[in-house]
Structure 1
Amino acid sequence: MNGLALHNTPAPASWRIALPHTVAAVPVARALVRTALAELEHAADSDTAELLTAELVANAVEHTAGDGPLELVVELMPSGCQVEVHDPDPAPPGNLTVPHQAGEPDPWQEHGRGLLLIRTLSSSCGHRPTDSGKAVWFRLPVIPAQRRPL
C-alpha cells in the first residue's frame, strides 16, 4: 500500500438554509442541526449544538429589525462543527465575546442567558460583518469516542 494509511475521516460538509424572520425559525433551525449531525454520524454534541443554534436564531429574530429572512449555515469538519446565523443588522450582538458581564443574569428573568450559554458551552464564538449585515457563530469540538453516549 505504499506506506499510505487510509483514514476514516468525514469530509467537510455544509448546509445553508433561509429561515423566516419569526420565532417559527427556531425549531426549524434545531431540526436542521440535529439532522446534519446525525446524517454524518458527526461526533460533535448534538444537544449542545441544537441549544446554541436555538439561542442564535432566537436572538436574531428578537434583536434585529425587518422581516427579511435569516440564514443558517452549518459546517461540519473533522475537528468539530461551526454554526452561523446571518441577519440583516450590522450591529454586533451584545456581550457575546465579553468574558464577564456586569453581574449575573437575574434568575427570575426570562431573558438574558442566551449569550452566556453560547460563551460558556461553545469552544469559541464571535461575529463578523457580512455584505448584508452580520454573521454570529459558535464552534463545538468533536467529542472523544470514549466520552460519547452509547
Structure 2
Amino acid sequence: MNGPALQDRPSASPSWRIALPHTVAAVPVARALVRTALAELQHAADSDTAELLTAELVANAVEHTAGNGPIELVVELLPSGCQVEVHDPDPAPPGDLTRPTKGEPDPWQEHGRGLLLIRTLSSSCGHRPTDSGKAVWFRLPVVPAQRRPL
C-alpha cells in the first residue's frame, strides 16, 4: 500500500504544507487546516473523515516520536480526492498501518484504534522514508455529488 510520494507526482494540484509543534496542541490545528483546505476549494472529499484521520496521524506522531522538533502536515487536493501526510523525525514504520492486526482491539483500552481507523476509513494508506524520518499518509476519494450533505 505504499504508493507514490507527493514528491514523485506532478504538483499541479493545490497543496498546503505547515510545520506543527511536537505537542498535542498540533492536533486541533491540523484538523482546522484540513477542514479549511477542503472547504476553500469546495473539494468533494469527506472533510469529517479527513479531519478524524488527520487527528489520528498527528496524535500518533506526537505520542510515538521523540524530540521537540516540529512535525509537518501536508494536504494535497487531487482530482480523485485528497491525500494527507504527516512527517515526523522517527524512521521506524508506524506499527500495523498497512496490514490488519490479529483479533479485535480491546474495548476497554483508550488507545489502539487509530491505525485501524486509518486503514478502514481511507481508500489507501501507507508510509515512506524521508530524509529526516518518515511520512505517514492516507487518501480519501471524492464523494459523489448525490451523497454530499447539502
Would the TM-score normalized by the shorter structure come out above 0.5? yes
In structure 2, the CA distance between the partners of 1:9 and 1:146, relative to structure 1 (3 Å rule), is farther
Structure 2 distance, partners of 1:2, 1:104, is: 24
In structure 2, the CA distance between the partners of 1:7 and 1:79, relative to structure 1 (3 Å rule), is farther
Offset, 1:9: 18
Offset, 1:12: 1.7
In structure 2, the CA distance between the partners of 1:107 and 1:37, relative to structure 1 (3 Å rule), is same
Structure 2 gaps, min length 5? none
SS of 2:8's partner is: coil
- Would the aligned equivalents of 2:2 and 2:125 in 1 still touch at CA under 8 Å? no
Count of aligned residue pairs for this structure pair: 148
In structure 2, the CA distance between the partners of 1:106 and 1:34, relative to structure 1 (3 Å rule), is same
Aligned to 2:61: 60
In structure 2, the CA distance between the partners of 1:46 and 1:9, relative to structure 1 (3 Å rule), is farther
Aligned to 2:90: 89
Offset, 1:4: 31
Structure 2 distance, partners of 1:65, 1:2, is: 24
Aligned to 1:125: 125
Deviations, residues 21-49 of structure 1 (Å, cap 9, x unaligned): 00000000000000000000000000000
The TM-score with structure 1 as length reference comes to: 0.91
Indicate the percent of aligned positions where both proteins have the same amino acid. Answer: 91
SS of 2:69's partner is: coil
**Farther off after superposition, 5-14 or 76-85:** 5-14
Offset, 1:7: 26
Runs of 4+ in 1 over 4 A off after TM superposition: 1-11
The TM-score with structure 2 as length reference comes to: 0.91
RMSD in angstroms over aligned alpha carbons? 7.4
Structure 1 gaps, min length 5? none
- Would the aligned equivalents of 2:2 and 2:126 in 1 still touch at CA under 8 Å? no
